[in-house]
Structure 1
Amino acid sequence: MIVSDRFGFIFIHIPKCAGTSVRRALEDFHDGAPHFVESLGHHPAHGELDFTHLPLNLLAEIDPDVFAKLRSYATFAIVRDPMQRFQSAMAQRAKMYLKSEIAQLGEADIAAELDRVMSYLRSVPQVTAPEFIHFSRQSDFVFMDGERLVQTIFPVERLDDLAAAIGDTIGGTELAFGHANQTTVFRYPHLRQIAQTGSQQAKRLMPEPLHRWVRKSARRMMMKPKAQALLPAFDTAGVRDFVAEYYASDYDLHRGALQRACA
């Protein structure tokens, strides 16, 4: 989240909606607490929290002063198609907590992890644990108790419009937002096993800094952004029904943002 007291705006970082790219581009304008642009931190009542992704009810509890500014500052957020976001959130979970690209997991492994995630969300946790925060409802970052508190919302398809809108707010500054944390897949699937084996051997033989450089270079050559088509494990009645029901308000939010962007 970006809180700019100098320019009177707040960018709410909804997870898995290209927000990392926007947040990085706007960090020089941030005047709020450092934990809003960092990651995990400890809260005395709730334990470990992801302070970069705070639903509005949690923001109101943790920092009522910043929450109050939502009513007087210009407020911005990005939203995304819920099914695409759900798959992207699972890819992020695989990378962060399973230490694997989703492209490296078998369908059975993905299905088991999907069951784990859906069971957790169905349990209606009072505060979402950091490892599941990417699956939070987008609407929880926009509405609180039925009141819409974030007024300017763009679909992820229109990042250029968001850049222009925030640029106008900060005095006509030209901004450009890339897209960090993109889900990637192998450019040449038949080389996947060779690449994985080679990476494991390189990690054993190379000093850590050199291995990181080689791995980063190899990823640029061998990986590409994932197309929007759903992986088979997501294209099932059980998953589709869950996403349609659990994220019903998010579908409305994204649909409305798209319609306004195209008007």
Structure 2
Amino acid sequence: MIILEEDRTIILHTPKCAGKVLREAFFDIASKHPFWNWNYLRSTGEWTDRAHMPLSVMRQTPEWENIRTYTLIAVVREPGTRFASSLSEHMRQHRKKDAMAVLKELDETRICHDPRYIHFIPQNRFTHIGNKRYADFIVRMENLPDDLRAVGTLCQFSRKFFDAVDQIALAPQKQEEDQDPKVSKKISDILTRFYLRDYALFGYDRTALSDQTPLGFDGLLTDPLCRQEWRGYRAMEPAYERFTRNIEQDFLLRQMMAENKALKAERDKAA
């Protein structure tokens, strides 16, 4: 995670969601912290990767009460491309050559409780605990600089925050390589099995999923706050432009006042 003391903000480290890019961008202003390497957590009886701690695990640590006083930002990514990156990372780290063998190893226990498979953990574990959302803001890796600027504008973060965001440079997406049809089918089944809630929560297109998607899942274990979020950030872009020109008046407030004035005018005209 990235701790920004001046802005009382923490950017949570969701595996394979621009963690390295964010660390490099915020290196000069981020605080040092103990969340690194593996650690045995007595309260849960398991080893944890402190660099990638889901909220349910973080809640068991002594630091949790202090963490809850910060603004929490979580980064998410399209689950299919994230899974491909996770698979590549796991095979590289553990020197594995057979992708199908790795895919067959994946199950609910490994991806959620075995730190060797931490890169496969569902992203909602870094935004929610159960059905309760703890991340104050959820930003998309695909629009990372713009989304972070919008959050910074809403929260009136320091100039240093925006300077760091300006340093973010995401690498271009790699072209998908041709896969064995059996591997592609297995990946599609895994995305449906483990990441359906990520798709539903974070508004990503589900065409990559298999045909086994449960009917009516959109209404199951979803968070209505997330749906508003994906429609709301782009409205903040003019606010950021005003911020950079040192105009203090809030864009959204002025927009709401203008809309309210227009509605009153229509009502008076109808009367």
TM-score by length of 1: 0.66
Amino acid at match of 1:249: R
Paired with 1:248 and 1:233, the residues of 2 have a C-alpha distance of 21
Paired with 2:110 and 2:123, the residues of 1 have a C-alpha distance of 16
SS in 2 for 1:177: coil
**Which residues of 2 match residues 158-237 of structure 1 at below 5 A?**
158-165=143-150, 168=153, 169-173=156-160, 174=163, 175=165, 176-179=167-170, 226-228=174-176, 231-232=179-180, 236-237=184-185
- Residues 81-135 of structure 1: CA deviation (Å, up to 9, x unaligned): 1111111100001111116xxxxx4xxx21111111x2xx23x359622210000
How far did 1:52 drift?
Answer: 1.1
Kept after mapping to 2: 8 A contact 1:87/1:234: no
Moved more, 72-81 or 164-173: 164-173
Q: Give the gaps of 5 or more residues in structure 1.
A: 100-104, 183-224
Paired with 1:230 and 1:29, the residues of 2 have a C-alpha distance of 42
Q: For residue 213 of structure 2, what is the aligned residue in structure 1? A: none
Q: For residue 51 of structure 2, what is the aligned residue in structure 1? A: 52
Q: Give the gaps of 5 or more residues in structure 2.
A: 204-226, 236-271
Structure 1 2/114 Cα, relative in aligned 2: closer, same or farther at 3 Å? same
Kept after mapping to 1: 8 A contact 2:16/2:82: yes
Kept after mapping to 1: 8 A contact 2:6/2:158: no
Paired with 1:164 and 1:131, the residues of 2 have a C-alpha distance of 34
Amino acid at match of 1:145: G
Kept after mapping to 2: 8 A contact 1:17/1:78: yes
Q: For residue 3 of structure 1, what is the aligned residue in structure 2? A: 3
Amino acid at match of 1:75: L
Structure 1 227/146 Cα, relative in aligned 2: closer, same or farther at 3 Å? same
**Pair 1:94 & 2:91 matched:** yes
2:71 to 54, 71, 74: 74
Higher relative contact order (CA 8 A, sep 6+): 1
How far did 1:232 drift?
Answer: 3.5
SS in 2 for 1:76: strand
Paired with 1:113 and 1:153, the residues of 2 have a C-alpha distance of 30
How far did 1:149 drift?
Answer: 0.7
**Pair 1:154 & 2:139 matched:** yes
**Pair 1:114 & 2:112 matched:** no
- Residues 39-76 of structure 1: CA deviation (Å, up to 9, x unaligned): x233253564311110001000023x335533x42221
Amino acid at match of 1:231: Q
Kept after mapping to 1: 8 A contact 2:112/2:121: no
SS in 2 for 1:42: strand
Paired with 1:230 and 1:83, the residues of 2 have a C-alpha distance of 15
Structure 1 154/241 Cα, relative in aligned 2: closer, same or farther at 3 Å? same
Kept after mapping to 2: 8 A contact 1:137/1:247: yes
- Residues 177-198 of structure 1: CA deviation (Å, up to 9, x unaligned): 1347x8xxxxxxxxxxxxxxxx
SS in 2 for 1:77: strand
**Count of residues in Structure 1 that have an aligned counterpart in Structure 2:** 203
Structure 1 86/230 Cα, relative in aligned 2: closer, same or farther at 3 Å? farther
Q: For residue 60 of structure 2, what is the aligned residue in structure 1? A: 61
Kept after mapping to 1: 8 A contact 2:110/2:117: no
Q: For residue 20 of structure 1, what is the aligned residue in structure 2? A: 20
